[in-house]
Amino acid sequence: MRAAFLFDEVYPNYDQALKVLGVLKDDERALLNTLVFRGLWGLCTPALGPDQMDRRIQYVQRLLFNMEGGLSGGIKDYEGLERLAGGDINAVVFNSIPKRLVHRGNERLQRDESYLGFMQVLADNPVHVKVFNGLIPTFEVRGKKIHVIYHVGSDKDFAEEILNHMQEDYPQLALDAKLKHVGWRFSVYDAQSENDFGLLKTIADLGEECESVCEETVYSLQQYVPEVIEELNSAIKVLRLDGPTAAQARNACGNLRHCLEIMANKLQPENVKLSENDLMDRYKAKLYDYVDKTFDQNCTYTHFLRNEIANLTLMLNKGVHEDWVHKILRPVALRMIILLGDLIHPRKTYPTRMVWDSSVEEMIEDRDE
């Protein structure tokens, strides 16, 4: 999610961005792959002058909710709400941060007198677009590595000042910190930087599509192959951990592999003949046989699914080495959900369109009876 941590502005305001990074533990920062923006938010408008506090408070309250009326943030107290409405507010925005880390950071920052609260930055809220647009990109965080970034037309000396401040006051952050020149990126000549909220809207739309696919798949599995859900639940518990061990990751891979084994026995209960020299796992052979029979009208998609089965089983049989747990386990799990959805919701190609075929559900129902 994109999240903003809000502070009463205190000089130097880049120190407040470092405070947010500093309250995260090393294993938590290792999960980050994000840009960090900072600067005064855009509530300073003549239409909402300081003599119109009630209107300004209402405006801030609108920031705390998404377009469906759901709460998207949390402020310390009503006094904090008044300070947000009436003061110069420094916003520290992470363009991508796990939700659990936002809440942990919020809890740990409560002791800071200048800290006011946080809110999720939403592309579908026009007030957010006005308030959070135009902030300055200051840090690039890639795991434990932190780059102080500057671009063509910006002040390198100021970037060096930030780095020196980090080294003096936040030595734990400065261990892997350095300057990084990003060329024309984020400069006045960078057309892409003007479309930042358009990109956020694209991410939100993709998230909705992924959620829809996951919901459809998981509910169908719960109805027809509930044993798979038990294995999925065990694997997903590992994904919730900040730093799963190699053993935990291997166990999660085992759970995901069991999903395929259960699906193979459910979709293709008859044994598949294997030659004595064929070392292929029997569950994989069953899935191949099922795919060949079910998707025979779409040869290209049949090859795609066979390759996906082969690639996933290769990864799951190999296990996961501790050095790439975070980078590999999560996309492997997502690919598994999509594959399970394809297997339980087969789609066949017709001359003008692709339609849903419920034959597998009917087949499973008949077998269960």
> Residue 354 pLDDT > 50, yes or no?
no
For the segment 226-237, what is each residue's pLDDT rounded down to a tens digit? Answer: 999 999 999 988
Which structure tokens are listed for 227? 């044993």
Which structure tokens are listed for 39? 């600067």
pLDDT band at 162 (very low <50, low <70, confident <90, very high): very high
Helix (H, G, I), strand (E, B) or coil at 160: helix
187 vs 202, which has greater pLDDT?
Answer: 202
State the alpha helices, DSSP H only, in the chain. Answer: 14-23, 26-29, 53-63, 78-86, 99-108, 126-132, 156-169, 171-174, 196-224, 226-239, 246-267, 282-294, 299-318, 325-344, 359-368
Place of tokens 């699914």: 305
Whole-number Å distance between alpha carbons of 251 and 332: 14
> Residue 335 pLDDT > 70, yes or no?
yes
Whole-number Å distance between alpha carbons of 205 and 283: 36
Lowest-confidence range among 63-72, 189-198, 224-233?
63-72
For the segment 129-150, what is each residue's pLDDT rounded down to a tens digit? Answer: 778 877 888 999 988 899 998 8
pLDDT of 146 reads: 92
How many residues would you count in the chain?
369
Mean pLDDT estimate for the chain = 78
Closest to 128 (Cα-Cα) out of 58, 83, 216, 67? 67
